[in-house]
Amino acid sequence: SNITDWIMWTPTVKGFWTPENVASVTSQGVESRANLTLKPNSDLRIEANAIFAITSSINTSPNSSSYGKQLPYIPLYSASAGVGCVWKRWEANYKWRYYSERYTSFSGTSFKGSVVDGYHLSDVSLCRNFDTKNKVHFKVRIEINNLFDTYYQSVLSRPMPPRNYALSLECKF
């Protein structure tokens, strides 16, 4: 895509976000997906998936100090992979995600303070399904997010949550 008048929201040193007009941007990339499902018997299903993407979003505005640089907060590389197992009424899942470093300014320089480091995250979950006689379906799920307690930032100077837990109950009538 060749885009003119791209509006990019970026944080200021005072902590609020402000729009900036990037006169011209070329955005292109490649995404690859793979899925695999195995069903060894009627009670067991194993699923695996993977996604890899390269996303190049380059400032092509002439006379710009960031000409030819990747736009802020858009990772060049990202990936995810997951595996899940369903056995009778039980489900277990593992998910891994990766995001490469991201620039935090239009200058596209890589000195400390203008780059958010890349990171890997892992999540796991365990789920149990229940059906009642009056056809109400319940699902109880426990999740551990950021399993390895990775310190990471999606936005400069804004740490993300450490390892955290979730318990959820889903009900379908």
Confidence label for 107 from pLDDT (cuts 50, 70 and 90): low
Spatial distance between the Cα atoms of 88 and 18, rounded to a whole number of angstroms = 51
What's the mean pLDDT when you consider all of the chain?
90
Most confident region among 73-77, 108-112, 121-125, 152-156 by mean pLDDT: 121-125
Would you call 118 exposed, middle or buried from its count of C-beta atoms within 10 A (0-12, 13-18, 19+)? middle
For residue 62, the tally of other CB atoms under 10 A from its CB is: 7
pTM of the model as a whole: 0.82
Share of the chain above pLDDT 90, in %: 64
Q: How far apart are CA 151 and CA 27, in angstroms?
A: 30
Q: How confident is the model at residue 109, as a pLDDT?
A: 54
pLDDT digits (tens, 9 = 90+) for 28-53: 999 999 999 999 999 999 999 999 99
- The pLDDT > 70 percentage for the chain reads 95
CA separation for the pair 115, 101 (Å, rounded): 7
| Alpha-carbon gap, residue 32 to 54, rounded angstroms | 9
